[in-house]
Structure 1
């Protein structure tokens, strides 16, 4: 489980996150939503440790990330998988080599064990073995995203972070990616945190939704409750998002 407690983050005079407290549940898809400039991306980057915070706590199973020593931080990094917005695959190496990369960096497995694990993860995300030797430019955007998911889970992480996983994908492929992330979250009992503006994702897999408004946590709950909220700004955001996606 990940908890943030009274988290504050400023950039010079801009107070981006204001006393944000939220709980992210293991075995659940935890979604952070909010309009552009609301602070949701900064919150995700703070939780990962890409931004130093001004005050507050970021608790990984009760361990406070800002207070961890370098050794504990390194151990934590090995338990984290990251799915970047643009997939961030290495163009110059094959699909299989992309997934092997974290194993070669952090695993003590033999080479044959690494290959077996990478192939297993690729097959788990429905990549056919015939594509293993292809380069990222030779496969579709949806396949690239699935390869990126395989790479993110190859070290069997406890925590999975996804930054706009459906960016640039058509609605049908987006639903497939949502289902895949959701299924893997349950299967591996991961704490998955997804930064998204995709309302279809909220409806389909939003088991724990955190709405950030002007740097503050304005609402937290399940997707089944989000459309009955009395929070006016959230209602306006939901309406505008649905209207944008329907056009």
Structure 2
């Protein structure tokens, strides 16, 4: 794993002032979910083994080993590599942004989008889906802090875990339809995640008011003439 980090981030994790606390980061919800954790979460939320899943990701560390539990739970698991031929993917190979764009295009039209980590990709995608589908695109945003506690609890029953996952899904659905009001936006609100249709309404309202004022002015001038 150290060699993979060094290759991907080139010294970022070897800086003298860099303190890495993996366990603390995980408890704080800052680590991406593993394939096994994603599978358990989705099963707990009620998705069965007939569910088709498209996995949007780059190269996965020891993919064959770590994807095995997820594939066992969800056999209908697909990636761009499994759906497209080598010839079809050839023009995109070596261009990580273009490969990510393929994943983005598939996720944009998905029935449900599940975000398992941070970064620009899920934020852009959530906002784009909200914009296209007027806020009705289903997105699952797990509470990773809560999920870590549940997954680390070796005494929890499956029924209790499933109840917690169903509650988490309901809370995610509730937050998914919420749109921050313009006057309550703070600097942490992502304009990419929330494209703010309220702004468009305000702009349209101004246009309507202007048209109304022009009509009044035209009527006034006509009466005066």
- TM-score in terms of structure 2 length: 0.27
- TM-score in terms of structure 1 length: 0.25
Larger radius of gyration: 2
Q: Which has the higher strand share?
A: 1
Q: Give the structure, 1 or 2, with the largest relative contact order (CA under 8 Å, sep 6 or more).
A: 1
